[in-house]
């Protein structure tokens, strides 16, 4: 098992990465505060891991409450209506301020459970147990929580840190191929924004990544988490450098919002968005056209999409981008690449250059 550290002063917490951690009662119980627990999961994950997790919790603690709530699966359910189900359960079952929420699932479950924890009785303890690659390398780390709105992704939320992230690599064995590849997109992001050596390593290990080689997976998750933990430690609330973690996300969120969260998966949309960001960076003269094509080739070799859905046109794309959280004074601030491994958040680009990128990608 690997143990990393997110350094945030009194809000610091560990990230555990290993196999069989869902069954490690001692590890799980170490991070339960109080004697009440609500495990929040979804209808896909519950049959696979809920009993195992509850048995682990029961084996290590004498709990007065060990409840579970099974929510519908999918990004389309990441909204206020579903969030209300968590509050309803907590209140009907009289959970106190000493309760701990445990998020067992992917990014949607982690984001919603974290937001419920941040706001139930003004804040209760919560633990992340991510079961998808995307959530293990990205969404479970850093304290971003929230839900979507029909007009914009993640527009309602809060920064609220977990007390621990427990990433069981064994859960990736049951992850569908499309979900796995969507998670790989977020891994590629770390190489592009801050770790060019990692980007080279990824290109050298495409076959092992696609084959889910256990040794390569472990290294990939650990290095991704190290990169994110380092950025979060320097800028917890995204006042400056943390925004580079959103490479491709402004473009990607526009796709997700336009498709009403029923089309491309988040990681797939981010893959397209990263390529669009690279294209615009090239038009600014920061990276070469060959580097853009190299990224396109890598994404394709990892089974990720590189084209915009047919429902999008450049006008709709720009309108959706204007609702992004990084818009400032009417300017869409984008994460772009000054070089591979060197990202910057900027609004310093010509509207005509952005339009060229949109026109190049939109059908």
Which one of the listed residues 36, 75, 179, 186 is annotated catalytic? 186
Spatial distance between the Cα atoms of 234 and 193, rounded to a whole number of angstroms? 15
Which one of the listed residues 153, 189, 242, 333 is annotated catalytic? 242
Spatial distance between the Cα atoms of 101 and 123, rounded to a whole number of angstroms? 11
Active site (annotated) includes residue 228: yes
Which one of the listed residues 36, 246, 326, 333 is annotated catalytic? 246
Which one of the listed residues 31, 77, 249, 326 is annotated catalytic? 249
Is the CA virtual torsion 165, 170, 174, 176 positive or negative? positive
Which one of the listed residues 36, 75, 238, 268 is annotated catalytic? 238
Active site (annotated) includes residue 226: no
Active site (annotated) includes residue 242: yes
Spatial distance between the Cα atoms of 319 and 254, rounded to a whole number of angstroms? 8
Active site (annotated) includes residue 238: yes
Active site (annotated) includes residue 246: yes
Spatial distance between the Cα atoms of 247 and 95, rounded to a whole number of angstroms? 39
For residue 171, the Cα-to-chain-centroid distance in whole angstroms is: 16
Which one of the listed residues 95, 144, 226, 333 is annotated catalytic? 144
Count, residues in the chain:
363
Q: What are phi and psi of 63, to 5 degrees?
A: -95, 145
Which one of the listed residues 92, 94, 122, 215 is annotated catalytic? 122
Spatial distance between the Cα atoms of 67 and 140, rounded to a whole number of angstroms? 21
Which one of the listed residues 78, 223, 253, 296 is annotated catalytic? 253
Which one of the listed residues 228, 283, 326, 333 is annotated catalytic? 228
Q: Which residues, other chains included, contact 119 with Cβ-Cβ below 8 Å and sequence gap of 6+? A: 158
Spatial distance between the Cα atoms of 95 and 90, rounded to a whole number of angstroms? 5
Contact between residue 350 and residue 331 where contact means Cβ atoms under 8 Å apart: no
Which one of the listed residues 189, 266, 283, 333 is annotated catalytic? 266
Active site (annotated) includes residue 186: yes
Residues classed as catalytic: 122, 144, 186, 228, 238, 242, 246, 249, 253, 266
């Amino acid at each position: 098992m690997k143990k990393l550290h997110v350094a945030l002063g009194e809000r610091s917490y560990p990230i555990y990465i290993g196999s069989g951690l869902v069954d490690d009662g001692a590890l799980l119980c170490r991070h339960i505060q109080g004697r009440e627990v609500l495990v929040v999961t979804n209808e896909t994950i519950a049959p696979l891991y809920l009993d195992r997790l509850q048995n682990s919790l029961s084996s290590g603690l004498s709990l007065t409450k060990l409840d579970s709530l099974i929510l519908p699966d999918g990004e389309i359910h990441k909204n206020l209506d579903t969030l209300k189900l968590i509050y309803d359960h907590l209140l009907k079952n009289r959970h106190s301020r000493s309760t701990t929420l445990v998020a067992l699932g992917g990014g949607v479950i982690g984001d919603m459970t974290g937001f419920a924890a941040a706001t139930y009785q003004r804040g209760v303890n919560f633990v992340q147990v991510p079961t998808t690659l995307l959530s293990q390398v990205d969404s479970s780390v850093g304290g971003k929580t929230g839900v979507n709105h029909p007009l914009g992704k993640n527009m309602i939320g809060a920064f609220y840190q977990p007390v621990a992230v427990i990433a069981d690599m064994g859960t990736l064995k049951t992850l569908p191929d499309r979900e796995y590849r969507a998670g790989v997109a977020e891994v590629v992001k770390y190489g592009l924004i801050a770790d060019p050596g990692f980007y080279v390593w990824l290109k050298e290990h495409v076959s092992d990544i696609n084959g889910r080689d256990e040794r390569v997976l472990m290294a990939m998750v650990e290095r991704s988490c190290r990169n994110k933990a380092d950025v979060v430690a320097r800028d917890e609330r995204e006042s400056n450098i943390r925004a580079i973690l959103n490479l491709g996300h402004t473009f990607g969120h526009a796709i997700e919002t336009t498709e009403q969260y029923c089309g491309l998966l988040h990681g797939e949309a981010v893959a397209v968005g990263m390529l669009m960001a690279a294209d615009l960076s090239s038009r600014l003269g920061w990276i070469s056209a060959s580097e853009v094509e190299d990224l396109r080739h890598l994404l394709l070799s990892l089974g990720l999409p590189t084209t915009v859905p047919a429902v999008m046109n450049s006008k709709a794309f720009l309108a959706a981008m204007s609702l992004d959280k990084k818009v400032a004074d009417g300017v869409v601030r984008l994460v772009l690449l000054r070089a591979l491994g060197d990202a910057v958040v900027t609004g310093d680009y010509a509207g005509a250059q952005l339009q060229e990128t949109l026109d190049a990608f939109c059908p």
